[in-house]
Chain A
Amino acid sequence: MKLSKWALALGIFTSVALLAGCGSGSSNSSDGVTTVKVAWRATGKGDSMYRIYSKKWIADFEKKNPKIKISLQPINASEGDYFSKLDLAMKSADTTPDIVNEDTFILPADAKAGYLEPLDSYVAKWSDWDKFTAALKKGSQGSDGKQYGIPGTTDARGIWTDLVVTKKAGLAADWAPKSWADILTAAKKIKQTQPNVIPFAMGVSTTNGESVSMQTFEQLLYGTGETLYNEKTKKWNVNSKGILATLNFINQIYNKDKTGPSLSVVMSSNYGSTIFQDRIPKNQVGMAMDGIWNTGNWSKDGAAPIANMTKVLAFNLMPTEKGQKPGYVTMAGGWSWALPKNSKNKKAAWTVMKAMNTKQLAVTRALQEGTLTVRDDAAKDPEYLKKPFIKEATQALQNAHFRPKNDLYPKVSIAIQQMVESVAAGRKSPSDAAAKYATDVKGIVGDSNTDTQK
């Protein structure tokens, strides 16, 4: 019975492999040394984090703290998959990293899920905490008002304006929009003078995810004087004038004036790279709504270098609807560092966390990433002030709004993206889309948690 003997052997082998080979002991804290695992969403060898938290920095830290070892655990994934992976990992003490990088829009939801450790008692004893920008600290709180994250980086959004294009359209060299109407007028002028140029670009497709909610819809909405969510009454804004005005603006650009990018550009998941890596460097976009981080893209070592970036481009602030005070508006987001509740090494992790967020490293990070710093003292650093467009961005931050500190925001955000897409694609009228949004939001947060802002 050779055949069955062979089968038996294979069966036994597999079972042994299963039982013996699979188990992987979690090895830690032999000889009293604790390994602190730091997880973030990474982009390969050239990732900026490797330059900020370099081998030398780690070695220096470990020399000063012989009981702690730092292990960088980059996660290669799309943005959405990154959050899924992190959430799954944080569910168990066996798999959780000890420090995680969280996007501030998802932080309240993860806090509510019980994945994160409240940091209030930690920061109370940390002298540096006063140096962090007050508004940004709030951006890393949960819906219960507790501090769940240490801000790592922030950003500001505005209108990237191509001066070559605006000049040809007959606009003044120092042109800056004072109201939404100014944008529409300029876009029409660009369209008339330069048919091959995209006059005004903003993301509207659900494939572009959260950025559509934040930097298209919310940046417009907050310019009407309304907000998405009232933090005091805890009610979500639906059926309001501001929402309709926002959708009308999007409709005007994409369907009436046709001054937006073609639908095949804007509906693609590659919208961002098409506009910012391909078309802008070729002077084929008049205005584009996006974040300050693009300077990193256009710098000498970036993916799409632009020589004399500061001469060719302007970073204009997003005006309010009719130019009402304070005149301009921006949405700020960013990433924060947090401590997972399931980590067994919270004490050591906090030591690492403090070391990761010094003033010097805050400056380095902002310079490396093209983002804005989260510390008031770093913002005064001469090196930091040399960054391109830093003056405009810092000014923008003074009127920055943050997304709702509510764990349901990620779900509402999906409803926003669908609303914006249906208007831009011409499938729904602004009022129909707004009505659908009201229904969707009521389904997510409950009837009683919505009202109409005036």
Chain B
Amino acid sequence: MNEPWMMLIVACTVFLIGLMGVIFRKNLLIVLMSVELMLNAVNLSFVTFSKLHNSLEGHISVLFVMTVAAAESAVGLGLVIALFRTLKTADSDQIQILRD
């Protein structure tokens, strides 16, 4: 696992898994988790490139992303719970009160 391209392939795979989760899953909780996956895949590629170029900038970005992701998932989870409480569902197709 010393080769950078292998790391990139892992990052790419994780990103795609996350993307598929976002696109194809209906449950909002799973969607949120998938978003986290995508973010972490990006983090992985950041670190890889950082190692490749011998620079610290990538690491710093990763720290940033992790902080923001923590905040984002806190807000997102809060929203999902609030939605579940009012609508008794976490299915994204069922939530269409704005459309009606």
The judgment on whether A and B are partners is no
Residues of B within 8 A of A (CB): none
List chain A positions with a Cβ less than 8 A from chain B. none
